[in-house]
Every structure is written in structure tokens, then in C-alpha cells.
Amino acid sequence: MTAVETRAGLFLRILPPGLYAGRARTLVERSVMVYRGSLLIFLSGAVEPFLYLLAFQLGFGKLVTEVTGPDGHPMSYVAFVAPALLATSAMNGAVFESTYNLFFKLRYAKLYDAMLATPIGPLDVALGEIGWAITRGGIYAVAFLAIAAAMGLLASWWALLMVPAALLVGLAFSAIGMALVTFLRSTAQFDYIQLGLTPMFLFATTFYPLSVYPEPLQWVVRCLPLYHAIELMRGLATGLLSGGMLINLAYLLLLGAVGLWASTRRIAKLLLT
């Protein structure tokens, strides 16, 4: 028996019976098979941030040449926006997978009812769906990073770490999104999710630095998950690393852990009771 198998066995014995069966990968495999016949829909998620970049490069970036970047260093406006768009792309992809798609599987297709009749447990479902959202976000991140590099918007080799950072952003938002969607009863309630995402996209320093806000509003912005994702991405893109990035990292890890715990409990409560 290998060390990996030994650790997996210990993990299975620690968790409550029926919660986890070590088959989360089967949900990822299912998602891959489903999307295999609709590659254009799958790849369309990488197009939107590219169009944003192109618009800022050819349009608005001509009007605003420089802004204040991390640690007060000046940088081109397009290079300032690019990491934020990557973080936003990871967020949107994760939220879409863990809310709209998951709601259909949960409420209409009754997919998880069938799954939980097998040895698969609620934690398998949560890990599998989050794993697929992270996989999809990682593919988008690699494509976006290649485009940004080709446009000369990356200033450091630290930018390569933006891919694992995008996976972390996907984990945090997909876990929270999955937990939230278990409370929804109809598709009309998705407006509440959009009501949270749109202001966060506009005000979480995506398009301008935090310093433009009055001091009280700055603390409100610092509480937004997307702000921490953008700060992490922006520091890696510029190579201007700081201790504050550890706070950004810890925030996203904690958000992902809380979301995973909450989504597992909610799925178990909805389908096993």
C-alpha cells in the first residue's frame, strides 16, 4: 500500500460514515464528458476578458496612461486592469458553474439524488463540483495569462503564479456559490447573486486604485472577496510582493474552507434527510 493510499484510508476513517467515499473525481469526469460536445460554450469564458483587455488597450487606455499600482509604483492602466480581469474571470467562471449549473442539477435533473443512492457522499459531491469549477477556471487563467504576456502586460516571472492563484479564487467562490445556491428555490432568485457580483466587480478596485475612496469606504472594499483576489493577482503580475498578500491568501483560503463546510452540510441536509 502506498503512502497516498494510506492517507486516503485514514481520511475515510476520520470522516463520518456516508459523508465521503473518495469518489469526487467521478463528478469531474462526468463534467468533462458533458462539455466534450460543447467546446465553443466552454471556451467562450476566455473571450470576454480578452475583449475587455483589447478595449482598454485600444480605447480607454489611450486616455488614462498611468495609475498608481502596488506599493505606490506607477504602471500603465492596461497592466493595472489586466490582473483584475483575470481575478474576475476566475470568479465568474466559478460562480456560474457552482450556481446556475448546480441549481439545475439539484432542483430539476435530481442528479445528486441519484448519486447519493450510490456510495458517493455529500462531501464527494461538493469536492467534485468545486474541483470541476477550479479546473475550468484554471484553463481560462492559462489562456488569459498567455494573452496578457503576448500584449506585454506582465512585468515579472512571479506572474506564473497567477494560475494557481486563479485556482484558489475559483475554489473560494465556487465553494461559497455552492453553499448559497442550496438556499435558492427558483431561478428568479439568481438576481440576488447578480446583485452581489456586479457591484463587487465595479468597486473592488478592478478599474481604479483603492485610494480613490474615502477612508470609511476603503474598509468596506477591503471586506470584499474580489478585492483580495485582485490584490493577490496584481502583486504577482508586477512582482511587487508584500506582506499584505499573505492576508489576501489567508482570506481566500478561509473563504474556501467555510464554503466547503457549508455546502457539504447543506447538500447532506437537503438530500439525506
Please list, in sequence order, all residues whose beta carbon lies within 8 angstroms of the beta carbon of residue 128, skipping any fewer than 6 positions away.
Answer: 23, 24, 25, 26, 27, 28
What is the CA 251 to chain-centroid distance, rounded? 13
Average pLDDT, the chain: 80
Task: Tally Cβ neighbours within 10 Å of residue 208.
Answer: 16
- Residue 231 to residue 84: CA distance in whole angstroms: 8
Note the residue count of the chain: 273
Residue showing cell 505606490: 72
| pLDDT interval class at 247 (50, 70, 90) | very high
Give tens-digit pLDDT for 50-99: 777 777 776 666 666 677 777 777 788 888 888 888 888 888 888 887 78
Give tens-digit pLDDT for 123-170: 788 888 888 888 887 887 888 888 888 877 787 888 888 889 988 998
- Residue 15 to residue 243: CA distance in whole angstroms: 35
DSSP notation for 192-248:
HHHHHHHHHHHHSSSSS-GGGS-HHHHHHHHT-HHHHHHHHHHHHHHT---THHHHH
What is the CA 57 to chain-centroid distance, rounded? 25
Number of C-alpha atoms within 13 angstroms, CB side, residue 253? 8
User: Pick the residue with more confidence: 113 or 224?
Assistant: 224
Collapsed DSSP state (helix, strand, coil) of residue 126: helix
- Residue 239 to residue 42: CA distance in whole angstroms: 31
Residue showing cell 493510499: 5
- For the whole prediction, is pTM greater than 0.85? no
Give tens-digit pLDDT for 5-60: 444 444 444 444 457 667 778 888 887 787 776 666 666 666 777 777 777 776 66
Q: Is 250 a residue whose pLDDT tops 90?
A: yes
DSSP character at residue 74: E
Backbone angles phi, psi at 84, to 5 degrees: -65, -40
- Residue 122 to residue 262: CA distance in whole angstroms: 11
pLDDT at 43: 67
- Residue 140 to residue 125: CA distance in whole angstroms: 23
For the record, the C-alpha cell of 74 comes out as 506607477
pLDDT at 178: 85
| pLDDT interval class at 229 (50, 70, 90) | very high
- Residue 213 to residue 169: CA distance in whole angstroms: 24
Q: Is 1 a residue whose pLDDT tops 60?
A: no
| pLDDT interval class at 221 (50, 70, 90) | very high
